[in-house]
Amino acid sequence: MAIKKFNPVTPGSRYRQGNTFDELTKSKPEKSLLAPLKKSGGRNAEGHRTVRYRGGGHKRRYRIIDFKRDKEDMAATVQAIEYDPNRSAFIALVEYTDGEKRYIIAPQGLQVGDEIASGKTATPNTGHAMYLSDIPMGTTIHAIELHPGRGASMARAAGTYAILVGREGKYAIIKLPSGEVRRVLQTCKATIGSTSNPDHALRVLGKAGRKRWLGRRPRTRGVAMNPVDHPMGGGEGRASGGHPRSRKGLAAKGAKTRKAKKASNKMIISRRKTRNK
């Protein structure tokens, strides 16, 4: 995937950088795999705003993604690589030998015409979904299950991948994209390879309006508010705001908020690396 710079024909395109979308082979989605997607605007069921700075944005339809890859012992052929407005990675339309079509997260390097499989008969090739017990050591993987049968929940964003670094009893040891090393049951599935669209992080939107099209409203800094609105607000002149705090008064900028007695702590071998000591 390549990033292109736009000619500065307008102020909004002067600094804009975006994908060329060379990998995409189809522009219209598969109708049978679409579902309606309702926007919340950051409001809960009572209409109260629970998440700030959300609203607007272009209308979308949800693409039903096969995160479980539970159709085993049957080959599928890649029909198309498509754009999905609901995620940063691209998606692949695959058709099984019985005629059923499904969407999966497209791995980097997967092309139209490739065959993929899932389960015990799958081989460690790009796009194949295998149990962690069958994947060779040191393999790059993505779309990893955290609990058997629940579907992929880790390493799904554009350009991300994890590495299978070892095994320990009934657990596999995985190094996640954040740098965290943790245990996952070997009966969980993962897909071989890294996710597509690795240049997603290099894009530059170019103007505020493009952020609005994505459903994000302008964000107000805490130091620009009054004391009644934010702990860092108020003061004479342009005050720095004091110690970084969230709107609820919790320490920000790296303060640890994970519960000390959380049940899954025993599964984590080493926490993710941060800049704060």
Count of CB atoms situated within 10 Å of the CB of 82: 20
| 106-129 per-position pLDDT tens digit | 999 999 999 999 999 999 999 999
- Average pLDDT for 7-25: 95
Report pLDDT for 1: 58
Least confident of 51-65, 84-98, 194-208, 245-259: 245-259
d(C-alpha 177, C-alpha 154), whole Å: 9
- Average pLDDT for 54-59: 96
DSSP states of 127-139: T-EEETTTSPTT-
Report pLDDT for 275: 61
Report pLDDT for 175: 97
Strand ranges for 186-258 from DSSP E: 189-192
Given a cut of 90, whether residue 90 has pLDDT beyond it is: yes
- Average pLDDT for 160-174: 97
Q: What are phi and psi of 270, to 5 degrees?
A: -145, 140
Given a cut of 80, whether residue 100 has pLDDT beyond it is: yes
Given a cut of 90, whether residue 252 has pLDDT beyond it is: no
The SS3 of residue 172 is: strand
DSSP tally for the chain: helices H, then strands E: 1, 17
Beta bridge partners of 248: none
pLDDT band, residue 277 (cuts 50/70/90): very low
Give 75's DSSP letter: -
Report pLDDT for 276: 53
Separation of CA 101 from chain center: 23
Higher pLDDT residue, 140 or 237? 140
Q: What are phi and psi of 201, to 5 degrees?
A: -70, -15
What 171-174 contacts at long range (C-beta under 8 Å, 24+ apart), as own/partner pairs, is 171/267, 172/132, 172/133, 172/135, 173/269, 174/132, 174/141, 174/144
Give percent above pLDDT 70 in the chain: 99
Domains and their CATH numbers in the chain: 3-200 (2.40.50.140), 222-277 (4.10.950.10)
Mean pLDDT (the chain) is 95
- Average pLDDT for 93-110: 97
pLDDT band, residue 82 (cuts 50/70/90): very high
Given a cut of 90, whether residue 250 has pLDDT beyond it is: no
d(C-alpha 213, C-alpha 12), whole Å: 14
d(C-alpha 185, C-alpha 148), whole Å: 8
Give percent above pLDDT 90 in the chain: 88
